Amino acid sequence: MQITVRVNGESYTRDVEPRLLLVHFLRDELGLTGTHWGCDTSNCGVCTVQVDGTPVKSCTTLAVMADGHDVTTVEGLEQGGELTPLQQGFINCHGLQCGFCTPGMLMTCSALLRDNRDPSEAEIREAISGNLCRCTGYENIVKSVRWAAEQTAEQQEVTA
């Protein structure tokens, strides 16, 4: 099947097998290896990307389902060569250790912050409940998201 997908702002047209998973399309066809591949059952969330702004597990989404849609991967988060406040928060607040879950966490949390600029700890924990981390205990991930929300609020105050 021929599909056309807009990934991180660039349009791609490819012939793919109907059974090809989106995670494999992104990694193998497009070379975007920031999207990790973990469990193949949508339990771990390391493969999370955004399709039309909604976080989805790319290990259980067929590439043909993304035909005609906008897909954002972790590579598409940076803005003009700069880290987003969320990415910087993960660095500053030690929101990652081994880094395997980080791309999926970033994609989930960036959608959360887009829709809720000041999420509570409970809202953050609920948002990331579909993303497993075996290293951090989630405490610093929550702190990273809160840090990013505070930075974004401060930036908006300065520009207002």
CA–chain centroid gap for 29, Å, is: 19
Report the domain count for the chain. 2
58 neighbors 48 (Cβ within 8 angstroms): yes
pLDDT at 15 over 90: yes
Same domain, 72 and 15: yes
pLDDT in tens, 33-81: 999 999 878 899 999 999 999 999 999 999 999 999 999 999 999 888 9
The residue range of the domain holding 65 is 2-76
Q: In the structure, what pLDDT confidence band is assigned to residue 87 with cuts at 50, 70 and 90?
A: very high
Same domain, 61 and 90: no
Same domain, 95 and 149: yes
Final residue belonging to a domain, choices 49, 76, 103? 76
Instruction: Please name every residue paired with 11 in a beta bridge, in sequence order, or none if there are none.
Output: 6
Here the CATH number for the domain that contains residue 7 is 3.10.20.30
Same domain, 68 and 15: yes
For the entire predicted model, the pTM comes to: 0.93
97 neighbors 135 (Cβ within 8 angstroms): yes
Same domain, 90 and 70: no
Report the percent of the chain where pLDDT is more than 70.
Answer: 97
Same domain, 93 and 128: yes
Integer CA distances (angstroms), 130 to 31, 64, 139, 156, in order? 25, 23, 16, 30
By CB atoms closer than 10 A (0-12, 13-18, 19+), residue 50 is buried
